[in-house]
């Protein structure tokens, strides 16, 4: 029988430029979450390395099978008998890097991986400029991963702005959605909460998103505020900007309850978009008839 309740945890970090220090910090926080009773623990985007210098980034990352953080968290999952969602790591992928998330089962085996689909290419009003596509390869598939409590829709950070991705995951069986992130402080202050609550409400799903927070060694500042949101849009747990752990009790039955009360997944209908031009203006000197 599928369990109907579990404790979820988000690990908030402030990853720096040393992958091994970041690994050790992640391991310590995941163990802390497990010691507090978490059955499912998620770490943020770029758990193993936050490094904006392209040459240094490539120098510090390697292939998936050699990634020290992935190897360490697989061992912790096995040791504690928990599900670990590694929010993402930078993984060498040809001449670029994949921003890749992993779901690790209680036996330490990799259940699923997901490469971030939507890449953050933007010029911000404060002068910051980001071109993820110059360094990263974008994924081309949405991923549902099975957990002991139901299906998890795996996404990463900027994906949260693309509502159709979350609807597709929910329509295909996801009860839990996630967007572990390294959100900038500026965009996070404006949009982080409303985006997460919207994705939860629109799909009648839990949103579980661990985040990076604070001023990092490479100079970027991230928003933090790791969130766990229920299918009615209520915030069950929220962090500030400091590293640490948040936990929330997840009642899987709330998914069916929310979708029964507001059945948007069932009520959706196909439609077409039709552009209707304005009437041609009357010739000068003439008055259009009523």
Give the H/E segment covering residue 242: none
Longest distance between any two alpha carbons in the chain, whole Å: 85
Q: Which of 45, 51, 132, 185 is catalytic?
A: 45
Q: Which of 10, 51, 116, 185 is catalytic?
A: 116
CB 231 within 8 A of CB 254: yes
CB 68 within 8 A of CB 23: yes
Active site residue 217: no
Give CA–CA dist 117/1, Å, rounded.
34
Backbone angles phi, psi at 260, to 5 degrees: -75, -35
CA Rg value for the chain: 21
Q: 3-class SS at 20?
A: helix
CA distances from 191 to 50, 185, 187, 202 (A): 22, 10, 6, 16
- For residue 152, the cross-strand partners are 145, 176
Give CA–CA dist 78/73, Å, rounded.
9
Task: Name the one residue in this structure whose structure tokens are 């001449």.
Answer: 95
Backbone angles phi, psi at 79, to 5 degrees: -65, -40
Crossing angle of helices 19-35 and 68-80, in 10° steps, is 20
Structure tokens at 139: 């994924």
Q: Which of 10, 51, 157, 182 is catalytic?
A: 157
Give CA–CA dist 221/124, Å, rounded.
13
Output DSSP code: residue 249: E
Active site residue 185: no
Catalytic residues: 45, 116, 157
């Amino acid at each position: 029988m599928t369990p109907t309740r579990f404790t979820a945890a988000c690990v908030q970090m402030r990853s720096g430029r040393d992958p091994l220090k970041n690994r050790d910090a992640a391991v310590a926080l995941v163990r802390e979450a497990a010691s507090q009773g978490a059955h499912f623990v998620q770490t943020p985007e770029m758990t193993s390395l936050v490094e904006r210098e392209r040459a240094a980034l490539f120098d510090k990352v390697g292939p998936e099978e050699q990634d020290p953080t992935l190897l360490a968290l697989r061992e912790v999952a096995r040791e504690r008998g928990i599900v670990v969602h590694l929010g993402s790591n930078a993984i060498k992928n040809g001449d670029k890097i994949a921003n890749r998330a992993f779901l690790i089962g209680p036996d330490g085996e990799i259940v699923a991986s997901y490469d971030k689909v939507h890449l953050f290419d933007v010029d911000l009003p404060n002068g910051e400029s980001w071109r993820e596509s110059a360094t990263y390869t974008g994924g081309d598939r949405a991923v549902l991963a099975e957990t002991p409590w139901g299906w998890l829709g795996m996404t990463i950070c900027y994906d949260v702005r693309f509502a159709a991705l979350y609807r597709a995951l929910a329509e295909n069986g996801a009860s839990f959605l996630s967007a572990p992130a390294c959100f900038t402080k500026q965009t996070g202050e404006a949009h982080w909460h409303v985006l997460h609550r919207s994705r939860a409400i629109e799909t009648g799903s839990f949103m579980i998103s661990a985040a990076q927070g604070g001023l990092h060694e490479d100079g970027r500042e991230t928003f933090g505020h790791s969130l766990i949101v229920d299918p009615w849009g209520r915030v069950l747990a929220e962090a500030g900007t400091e590293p640490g752990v948040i936990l929330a009790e997840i009642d899987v039955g709330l998914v069916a309850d929310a979708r029964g009360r507001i059945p948007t997944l069932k009520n959706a209908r196909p439609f077409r978009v039709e552009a209707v031009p304005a009437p041609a203006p009357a010739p000068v000197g003439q008055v259009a008839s009523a």
